[in-house]
Structure 1
Amino acid sequence: MDWTLEVIVVPVSDLDRSKRFYEEQLGFKVDHDTTFSEDARVLQLTPPGSGCSIVMGKGIVKGEPGTLKGVQLVVSDLEKARAQLVERGVEVGEIVRMNEADGGSFIFFDDPDGNSWAVQEIKARATGGEWK
């Protein structure tokens, strides 16, 4: 049986500001933006190519804005990903190379509430203990 990770909850203070950041600056696709009442709204977005989405909301999602730390996105070309983020106005750090092995390079950024994200470069994946 597979256990798939489908949704990560991102606590934010302003849904419209966060929607603009994740959609326009990060390029996430808006899956749905549903208002149930004046006090309840849910917003789901998905990174390009990802099987896992993020959800934020009003009256539904619990958590203090800015407390999400350490979620990682993965790309095959970190320099290109960083250039896209910079071009879209995201304040992103320089590339950090942890080691020469594949998977050892990262960039980091925060959303407007201070939720912290990492982007890792992986050019090959381990399968059955071997890199392919």
Structure 2
Amino acid sequence: MDWTLEVVILPVSDIDRAIEFYRDKVGFHLDHNTQTEQMHVVQLTPQGSGCSIVFGNLPSQNEMAPGSMRGLQLVVSDAQAARAELVGRGVEAGEIMVIDPRDGGTFFGFSDPDGNSWAVQELKVRAEKPLIPVEARGRFGADM
């Protein structure tokens, strides 16, 4: 039986500011922004990912302090291009570090406005072999 990690709760202090950051600056796809009188829940997914981030104002989403998530990891096929894209959109990204010259040993990082931190790892193999094939992406098989 497969057990897939599909959602990570991200603690944020301002839902609208977090939407703007992750959608407009980082480039995540806004899957839904559901608001009722009782709650506000948002889900965003990085391009090509099977795992999304969710934040909102439900009690379970407010158990962690905003900015307390550390070291969430994204993987890209080209760290320099990914960093340039983020910086071009106004994200303060750290310098690229080569910890190991083999594929998978190159990283940089960034944080959201609350201080939740992300590591971005370069795996060049993802350019030819994406983790999720393009035709299988999206909630219903459509590319995000």
Q: What is the TM-score of this pair, normalised by structure 1?
A: 0.90
1:62-102 deviations in whole A, cap 9, x for unaligned? 21100000110000000000000000000001101101111
Quick one: distance in 1 between partners of 2:35 and 2:6? 21
Q: Which residue of 2 aligns with 1:25?
A: 25
Q: How many residues align?
A: 124
Which runs of 5 or more structure 2 residues have no equivalent in the other structure? 127-144
Cα deviation for residue 36 of structure 1 reads: 2.4
Quick one: distance in 2 between partners of 1:35 and 1:109? 28
Q: Which residue of 2 aligns with 1:92?
A: 93
Q: Which residue of 2 aligns with 1:48?
A: 47
Q: How does 1:1-132 map to 2 (within 5 A)?
A: 1-37=1-37, 39-60=38-59, 61-62=61-62, 63-124=64-125
Taking only the aligned residue pairs, the percentage that are identical comes to 58
RMSD: 1.1
Cα deviation for residue 124 of structure 1 reads: 2.7
Quick one: distance in 1 between partners of 2:27 and 2:10? 16
Q: Give the AA of the match of 1:75.
A: V
The structure 1 segments of at least 4 consecutive aligned residues displaced by more than 4 Å after TM superposition are: none
Cα deviation for residue 107 of structure 1 reads: 0.6
Q: Give the AA of the match of 2:51.
A: C
1:25-84 deviations in whole A, cap 9, x for unaligned? 0110111011122x5110000001111100000134121100000110000000000000
Which runs of 5 or more structure 1 residues have no equivalent in the other structure? 126-132
Q: Give the AA of the match of 1:111.
A: D
